[in-house]
């Protein structure tokens, strides 16, 4: 088995000199004797131009920032590996999809779309899910999102869409949010956005963690075999831990309590050895079946329902290493949809075609010139031999000739005419008139939003109605609100009426001939629960003076054995005195955390019964999360009015097996929606 990681070896060769034990130097390697005061004439005099250390230090600092990404500016990333389950030679010659014993290094960057680099993680937004595979035949970038569809059909509309969703131009408001007039104005006038808008109004747009969301290539791509046979393909990433979301109220509070919530969650999981894992699946459609669907496979606003074309698992990806330097790696990574390897090719999807232009273009402004692929994070692990030369940031010392054909360089680098590993674009026959016209096969904008809506469970639909009401309620323009409700009425009358009701608008007229698709159960979060483990779930144990230490130990041991993260929260850092008079350690002070940062709360016997503790338990319950109480604390829960029989609430005298397995099962369930509301 070849499990050496060539990307990690390559990174080592780029690491800056280890500062430990060495002296501070200038960029020129000259040792510096003093860095706290500038060189001046007398103690109070002016600074001298000859202070080269001062000038170099300030100049470098002044140039530290580069333009942030125009979209997906806020991101977090990790290294890892991908390994196929078996050879996919039947469908593709891609080298990294052939041998289950070969691990291909990857770098994955997750992101939000709308907000700037410093915006909060838990906003309602699409999440980017971009993977760079450092394959033995060059870099392959699968630049996807956590939704399988996109807002527009043709890339020429991308600037319009992004201008509409970004903060409004006059006052740069709102940050990291789609709840404003310009976005909904655009949506109400451009119904092709609706399907993706439905995903955006669903719980998919507020993931619990990057480790608990799906990823999709969105477009239909092509796999190509060694014989040149093509198969249409859609890519799906599915997290092992299942797909889980936050509650909107909770997501908003986390924006203030811990704006780095997702970034820290990813980092801490990897640092603790709980490596995030995703399965790669493909939907395969033979070329001859391209027109067998009632939508166009080239239309990126459509999914292929999994009930129609099942997802075949082909491999798994594990993220097992945090980057060493955020700027050098997470910020400077440059993805590009046109980074493909032999065995993977494009289709004529007009959004994909536009992306194949845009990503290279954007890196030129963002990374300052054409040599960004020499940055360590972007470097392929196989040898690079080009005739491209010079330019800003050229790091390589090229030798030999720089043109083809040549005889003076022995004809090198050779152009791989006969080389079986060379990339060859798939031969396709095309003819047509030059025109600007959307294909009639792209016209249906309402059936798939209806498909999505109908596939949601009751609680998912309730959350969507609330989301539409919230977002449109934030729009000042009455006509924008009314026009959007009108669009919803073309999808589902009940939904449109419920949204209208929340906005104080008259219910829309019934639209004739509404779409009537069959639901796709694969779309509901109810059916995406993952492996059922409680790994990495965060559980708060509320402790205080007189705590039953044995209860804490029993809960802790059971949950930690399942991989959950348990934190004991007390009145202050340090220790509290337990029921036996012994010191009991506290992990965190309650005042430094918040209930929204935990998946469950457990009250051991003797748990505090004060207002902060009661507020904590009430909030955990209100957000549908697990509550468990032991010994005397069970009466605390009861006194809060939390019904013992409510889903996800467990109380017992002692931490016996029945209690511990009920607690574990409740945690596995993630959220408990069918509960009586929180008592006043």
- Residue (354 or 647) nearer to ligand HDD, CB: 354
Q: Is 148 near ligand HDD (CB under 6 A)?
A: no
Contacts of 672 by beta carbon, 8 Å cutoff, 6+ apart: 624, 625, 626, 646, 647, 648, 649, 666
Encoded tokens for 7: 């990307």
Task: Spell out the residues 6+ positions from residue 232 whose beta carbon is closer than 8 angstroms to its own.
Answer: 220, 221, 222, 284, 285, 286, 287, 289, 290, 297, 347
Q: Please, which of residues 587-646 interact with ligand HDD by CB under 6 A?
A: none
d(CA 133, CA 109): 12
375 binds ligand HDD (CB under 6 A): no
**The one among 143, 183, 280, 525 contacting ligand HDD by CB under 6 A:** 143
Of 210 and 598, nearer to ligand HDD (C-beta) is 210
Considering only the stretches 143-151, 180-188, 258-266, 310-318, report the one whose residues sit in contact with ligand HDD under the rule CB under 6 A.
Answer: 143-151
For the CB of residue 649, give the shortest distance to ligand HDD in the complex, in Å. Answer: 39
Q: Is the Cβ–Cβ distance between 525 and 203 less than 8 Å?
A: yes
Of residues 101-140, those binding ligand HDD (CB under 6 A): 109, 111, 128, 130
- Binding to ligand HDD (CB under 6 A): which residues in 333-362? 333, 335, 351, 354-355, 358-359, 362
Total site size for ligand HDD, rule CB under 6 A: 26
Tell me the residue nearest to ligand HDD as measured from the CB.
Answer: 128
- Closest alpha carbon to 151 in 207, 191, 202: 191
Beta bridge partners of 285: 232
What part of residues 184-243 is at the interface with ligand HDD (CB under 6 A)?
Answer: 218-219
In whole angstroms, what is the distance from residue 542 CA to residue 415 CA? Answer: 68
Structure tokens at 41: 């004439």
The whole-angstrom separation of Cα 641 and Cα 77 is 43
The residue within the footprint of ligand HDD, chosen from 69, 204, 222, 584 (CB under 6 A), is: 69
Using CB under 6 A, which of the segments 66-74, 164-172, 431-439, 597-605 binds ligand HDD? 66-74
602-639 in b/e form (b: 16+ CB < 10 A) is: bbbbbbbbeeebbebbbbbbbbbbbbbbbbbbbebbee
Q: CB of 198: closest distance to ligand HDD in angstroms?
A: 16
How far, in Å, CA of 485 to CA of 187, rounded?
A: 11
Peptide bond before residue 119 is cis, with ω within 30 degrees of 0: no
| Closest distance to ligand HDD from the beta carbon of 270 (Å) | 17
Q: Is 72 in the active site?
A: yes
Q: Which of 52, 56, 57, 70 is in the footprint of ligand HDD by CB under 6 A?
A: 70
Which member of 72, 222, 263, 463 binds ligand HDD (CB under 6 A)?
72
Q: Is 170 a catalytic residue?
A: no
Residue 158 and residue 358 in contact, taking contact as beta carbons nearer than 8 Å: yes
Between CA 601 and CA 406 the distance in angstroms is 72
Of 150, 199, 237, 346, the one binding ligand HDD (CB under 6 A) is 150
Q: Which is nearer to ligand HDD, 69 or 671 (CB)?
A: 69
Q: What is the DSSP letter of 309?
A: S
Candidate list 72, 180, 219, 236, residue with the active-site label: 72
From the list 84, 105, 155, 606, which residue makes contact with ligand HDD (rule: CB under 6 A)?
Answer: 155
Kindly tell me which of 335 and 346 has the beta carbon lying closer to ligand HDD. Answer: 335
Task: List the one residue out of 580, 438, 450 whose CA is nearest residue 515.
Answer: 450
Task: Return the closest-CA partner of residue 149 out of 210, 192, 188, 207.
Answer: 192
Site for ligand HDD contains 300 (CB under 6 A): yes
- Strand ranges (E), 91-216: 104-112, 127-135, 138-145, 215-216
**Residue 568 CB, nearest approach to ligand HDD (Å):** 37
CB of 450 to ligand HDD, least distance (A): 21
Beta-bridged to residue 338, according to DSSP, are none
Instruction: State the minimum distance, in angstroms, from the CB of residue 466 to ligand HDD.
Output: 26
In this complex, which beta carbon is closest to ligand HDD, that of residue 311 or of residue 334? 334
Pick the closer one to ligand HDD by CB: 167 or 413.
167
**Marked catalytic residue, from 145, 146, 339, 371:** 145
- Active centre residues (catalytic): 72, 145
Per CB under 6 A, residues contacting ligand HDD are: 69-72, 75, 109, 111, 128, 130, 143-145, 150, 155, 158, 218-219, 300, 333, 335, 351, 354-355, 358-359, 362
């Amino acid at each position: 088995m070849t499990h050496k990681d060539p990307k990690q070896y390559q990174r080592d060769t780029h690491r800056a000199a280890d500062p430990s034990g060495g002296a501070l130097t200038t960029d020129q390697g000259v040792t510096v004797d003093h860095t706290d005061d500038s060189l001046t004439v007398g103690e109070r005099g002016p600074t001298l131009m000859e202070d080269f250390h001062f000038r170099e230090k300030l100049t470098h600092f002044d140039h530290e920032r580069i333009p942030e990404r125009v979209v997906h500016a806020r991101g977090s990333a990790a290294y890892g590996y991908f390994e196929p389950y078996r050879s996919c030679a039947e469908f593709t010659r891609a080298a990294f999809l052939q041998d289950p014993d070969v691990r291909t290094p990857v770098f994955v960057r997750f992101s939000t779309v709308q907000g700037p680099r410093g915006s909060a993680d838990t906003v309602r937004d699409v999440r980017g899910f971009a993977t760079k595979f450092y394959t033995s035949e060059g870099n392959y970038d699968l630049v996807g999102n956590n939704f399988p569809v996109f807002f527009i059909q043709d890339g020429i509309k991308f600037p319009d869409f992004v201008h509409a969703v970004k903060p409004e131009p006059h006052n740069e408001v709102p940050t990291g949010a789609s709840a404003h007039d310009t976005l909904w104005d655009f949506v109400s006038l451009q119904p092709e956005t609706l399907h993706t808008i439905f995903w955006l109004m669903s719980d998919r747009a507020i993931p619990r963690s990057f480790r608990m969301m799906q990823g999709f290539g969105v477009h239909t791509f092509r796999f190509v075999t060694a014989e040149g046979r093509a198969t249409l393909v859609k890519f799906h990433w599915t997290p092992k831990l299942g797909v889980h979301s936050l509650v909107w109220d909770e997501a908003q509070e986390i924006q203030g309590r811990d704006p780095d919530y997702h970034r820290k969650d990813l980092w801490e999981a990897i640092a603790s050895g709980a490596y995030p894992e995703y399965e790669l699946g493909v939907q395969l459609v033979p070329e001859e079946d391209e027109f067998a669907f009632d939508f166009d496979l080239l239309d990126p606003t459509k999914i292929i329902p999994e009930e129609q074309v099942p997802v075949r698992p082909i491999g798994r990806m594990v993220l097992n290493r945090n980057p060493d330097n955020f700027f050098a790696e997470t910020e400077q990574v440059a993805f590009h949809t046109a980074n493909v390897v032999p065995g993977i090719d494009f289709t004529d999807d007009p959004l994909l075609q536009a992306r194949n232009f845009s990503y290279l273009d954007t890196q030129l402004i963002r990374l300052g010139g054409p040599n960004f692929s020499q940055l360590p994070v972007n470097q392929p692990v196989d040898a690079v031999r080009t005739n491209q030369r010079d330019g800003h940031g050229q790091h390589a010392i090229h030798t030999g000739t720089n043109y083809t054909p040549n005889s003076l360089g022995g004809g090198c680098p050779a152009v791989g005419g006969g080389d079986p590993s060379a990339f060859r674009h798939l031969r396709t026959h095309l003819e047509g008139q030059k025109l600007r016209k959307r294909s009639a096969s792209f016209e249906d904008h309402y059936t798939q939003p209806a498909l999505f809506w109908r596939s949601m469970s009751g609680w998912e639909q309730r959350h969507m109605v609330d989301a539409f009401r919230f977002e449109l309620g934030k729009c000042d323009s009455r006509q924008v609100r009314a026009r959007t409700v009108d669009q919803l009425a073309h999808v589902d009358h009940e939904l449109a009426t419920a949204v209208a009701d929340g906005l104080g608008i008259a219910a829309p007229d019934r639209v004739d001939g509404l779409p009537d698709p069959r639901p796709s159960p694969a779309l509901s979060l109810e059916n995406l629960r993952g492996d059922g483990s409680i790994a990495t779930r965060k559980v708060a144990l509320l402790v205080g003076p007189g705590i039953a230490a044995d209860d804490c130990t029993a809960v802790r041991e059971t949950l930690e054995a399942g991989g959950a993260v348990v934190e004991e929260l007390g009145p202050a850092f340090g220790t509290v005195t337990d029921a036996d008079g012994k010191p009991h350690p506290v992990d965190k002070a309650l005042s430094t955390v918040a209930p929204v940062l935990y998946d469950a709360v457990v009250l051991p016997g003797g748990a505090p019964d004060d207002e902060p503790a009661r507020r904590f338990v009430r909030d955990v319950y209100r957000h549908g999360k697990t509550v468990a109480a032991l010994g005397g604390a069970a009466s605390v829960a009861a006194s809060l009015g939390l019904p013992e029989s409510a889903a996800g609430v467990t109380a017992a005298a002692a931490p016996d097996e029945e209690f511990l397995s009920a607690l574990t099962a409740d945690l596995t369930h993630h959220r408990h929606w069918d509960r009586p509301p929180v008592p006043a």
